[in-house]
Amino acid sequence: MRTEEYGDLAAIVTASSGDHPIWVGWGIIEEIGKRIKSLFTPPVVYVISDERVSEHARMVQIALETEAIPAHIFMIPSGESNKNLETVQHVYKWLANRKAERGHMIVAVGGGVVGDLAGFVAATYLRGMPFAQVPTTLLAMMDAAIGGKVAVDLPQGKNLVGAFYQPQFVLSDVRTLSTLPDRELSSGWAEAIKHGLILDKELLAIFEKNTGKIKSLDPEIATQIIRDSVAIKANIVSQDERETLGIRILLNYGHTIGHAIESTTQYTQYLHGEAVSVGMMAAASISRSMGLLDESEVKRQRLILASYGLPIKAQGLNSSDILEAMRSDKKTSRGQINWVLLDGIGNAVTNNRVPDNYVAEALDSILTDDGKAEELGQGC
């Protein structure tokens, strides 16, 4: 069966290394062996996962071996704090002991941490091995698994050591999300809502009108909206794979301050989507100060984020620490931050000349408790 004949094809990403499919469906993880063989048949597959999703990793292993593809599993410690070069070295040694070859394949099964690290290993071991993404968290399905950005963290910041390295395919089984805690689901919806805010007003309206069904993972509606959101990011990546044309950077709406919040708290207090949610509120504040958004649009963003259980403020942080972390942001060039702002809902723009006082006001708006914000940071 050809790739395009699967009814759950969300998008085909066009990249310099070749095109690859993104499948989004319900109960499709058991088909991974057949789908790999629709593309090519690797002699051996190395599944990299973590303890929290060991059941899904085992399902992938069984599905591969059912198709006569030998598969081995390596479990990494869970959590962003383990997405580092030390963990990478452990995986390198395991691959070397297994005598992995360049024609073998790495499959990442798990959330964004697993996908980022496994992709980085695939990009660098033997100067590159084929790999695939099987994201099992909503955030990874929406964001980390799409686009070929693979990286690990340094103490100085997030994703500072990495590469652009595209997978052979992405297979997202929405049914795997049914085991996720509500907080992790909310974190994932942040990235999908972001897609509506920056590019697609109709998608945003669907989120507003179907909040209950989407949050409860209705198989039909949740799968379709994930598929639609994934298609938005895939289209952007196809146009601007390496972020050189000023298109892909639009996906970073909310991420400048969001990443700063994560690094300032050592990735222990806020989930990624939670930090991005707060960052989007800061970016909306700047957009309003720049005359790009009116107050009703800022309120609309605030209400939809809150309706999905996402925070709009961060508690107990210092603005000077956030500013210092922002200076290490990858989007900073010659000391200037290239901000992603909204020129109306559904229309993202960039601006590297935001006055310092607008940034200060935005930070004050998200770091000062006015009694209306929902508390966040109960630990991950």
**Which of 31, 80, 184, 191 is flagged as catalytic?**
191
Q: Is 300 a catalytic residue?
A: no
CA distance 64 to 31: 9
Could you confirm whether 90 is annotated as catalytic? no
Q: Considering 255, 302, 313, 331, which one is annotated as catalytic? A: 255
**Residue 201 among the catalytic residues:** no
The question of whether 102 is a catalytic residue gets the answer: no
Q: Which of 4, 97, 99, 127 is catalytic?
A: 127
Which of 344, 276, 336 is closest to 305 using CA atoms? Answer: 276
Question: Distance between CA atoms of 159 and 144, rounded to whole angstroms?
Answer: 12
List 104, 272, 288, 331, catalytic entry: 272
User: Which letter does DSSP use for residue 3 in this model?
Assistant: G
Q: Which two tokens stand for residue 262?
A: 């994560």
CA distance to 46, 224, 240, 331, per residue, from 250 (Å): 34, 23, 11, 11
**Residue of 104, 227, 248, 331 marked active site:** 248
Q: Which of 31, 252, 288, 313 is catalytic?
A: 252
Catalytic residue among 52, 56, 227, 259: 259
Q: Is 175 a catalytic residue?
A: no
Measured distance CA(85)–CA(94) in Å, rounded? 14
Please identify which of the residues 31, 184, 243, 274 carries the catalytic annotation. Answer: 243
Q: Is 242 considered catalytic here?
A: no
The one catalytic residue in 35, 83, 158, 233 is 233
Based on the residue annotation, tell me whether 259 is a catalytic residue of this protein: yes
Contact 104, 45 (CB under 8 A): yes
Residue of 20, 104, 149, 313 marked active site:
149
From CA 74, how far away is CA 89, in angstroms rounded?
13
SS3 state at 137: coil
| Annotation says 233 is catalytic | yes
Q: In the chain, which residue ranges form alpha helices assigned H by DSSP?
A: 32-39, 54-66, 85-97, 112-124, 138-139, 182-199, 201-209, 211-215, 219-239, 255-264, 272-289, 295-307, 319-326, 356-367
CA distance 189 to 306: 11
Which amino acid makes up residue 57?
A
> Which residues does 184 contact at the CB level (< 8 Å), separation at least 6?
137, 138, 139, 271
The answer to whether 243 is a known catalytic residue is yes
Does the active-site annotation cover 83? no
Catalytic residues: 127, 149, 191, 233, 243, 248, 252, 255, 259, 272
